[in-house]
Chain A
Amino acid sequence: MSTTLAQVDAELSGYAPLPRLNGELVFDEVWHGRALGMGVVVLERLGQPWSAFRDHLAAAIERHGQPEGESAAEAYYVAFLDAIESLVAAQA
C-alpha cells in the first residue's frame, strides 16, 4: 500500500476534489469509501497515474451533475464509479 488518503486528496484537489462538508471529507455511505478504494487498486494495478484518472472523473462529474435528492457525496461517488469504468474501458 503506497497511496495515502492525503495523496489521493491532493491529486484530485483542483480538478475533481473529494467531497467535503464544512471543510471535512465526507463518506456518507460505506460504499463511498469502497469506491475510493476500488479506484486506488485499479490505478495501481494498471500502473496509471491519478492525472489519468482525474480527467475521466472530471468528465463523469460534468455528465452526471447532482440529481435532485442526491447528496453531493453520493453524486460524486456515482461519478467516481463512471470514471473507473471509463478508465478501464480506455485501457482495454
Chain B
Amino acid sequence: MHDHDHDHDHHERPASQAELRARALEALLVERGLVSTDAIDAVVEYYENDVGPQNGARVIARAWVDPEYRARLLSDGSSAIAELGFGGVEGEHMVVVENTPDVHNVIVCTLCSCYPWPVLGLPPTWYKSYAYRARVVAEPRRVLGELGLDLEADVELRVWDSSAEVRYLVLPERPEGTDGLSEEELAALVTRDAMIGVARVESPSGAAA
C-alpha cells in the first residue's frame, strides 16, 4: 500500500512555515495542558481509519446478509446508505459497484481526491497521489498487483472515476468460510482498501478469499 508514497513529497521537503507554526501551537497547547499529543493522534486516527471505514463496513455487511438491502444498495446507493444513518452534508450521489468472480471494481478520482468520506473517513494519502490517480487508470492490473492484489487474467477490471457528482463505493465479494458469522463479525472483516477496490476482503482464517 505504501508504494504510492514514493512520489509523495511530504517527507522529503522541509516543513513549511505554516506547518512549523502548527507544531509550535500544538507544543504550546500541550504545555498549557489543553491538549495531549495522544488525544490529537486519536482524533486524526479516528477520522482516518475508524469512523469512516466502520460506517462503510456496516453497509457492506448488511448487503452480504440481506439480499433485499443489497438490491437497494446497488440500485440507489445514497438512499440505502442513508437507511443506516450515514451520508454527507451535501447529499452527494453514491453509486455502489459490486465485485463478482468475473468483475473487479476499483475507484479513483483522477481530477482531485473525490472520496466517499462519510462512509470511508478521510482518504489515505496515497489515494490522491499523482502516481495512483494516473497509473490506476492507465495500468490498473499492474497497480493492483503492486498493491498485492493479483487478479486472474479473465477477471474484467473496471475503474470508476469519482467526481463531485458521483462517488463510488465497491461492494467486495463476501469471503468464503463466513457463513456462520454475524453481521457485526462480517463488518469487522471489511477494510477501507477493499471498499476502494485495491484489496479483497480476507477470510477469517487470514487467507485471501
Contacts and interface: CB of A to CB of B under 8 A. Distances in A.
Interface of A: 1, 3-6, 9-10, 13, 21-27, 29-31, 33-38, 40-42, 45-46, 74, 77-78, 81, 84-85, 88
B132 interface: no
Nearest to A11: B89
B42 interface: yes
Nearest to B167: A24
B40 A4 contact: no
Contacts of A84: 25, 29
Contacts of A85: 25
- Residue among A6, A41, A88 facing the most chain B CB atoms (10 A cut-off): A41
A37 B112 contact: no
13 contacts: A4-B51, A10-B89, A23-B114, A24-B114, A31-B18, A33-B48, A37-B44, A38-B22, A41-B34, A41-B39, A42-B29, A81-B21, A88-B29
- Residue among B43, B44, B48 facing the most chain A CB atoms (10 A cut-off): B43
B34 A22 contact: no
A81 B25 contact: yes
Contacts of A31: 18-19, 22-23
Nearest first, the 9 A-B pairs at minimum CB distance are: A23-B164, A37-B43, A24-B114, A37-B44, A22-B164, A37-B40, A31-B22, A31-B19, A41-B35
Nearest to B38: A41
B112 A21 contact: yes
A6 B34 contact: no
Contacts of A24: 109, 112-115, 117, 164
A22 B114 contact: yes
B86 to A, nearest CB: 8
Nearest to B19: A31
A35 to B, nearest CB: 5
A42 B34 contact: yes
Contacts of A35: 22
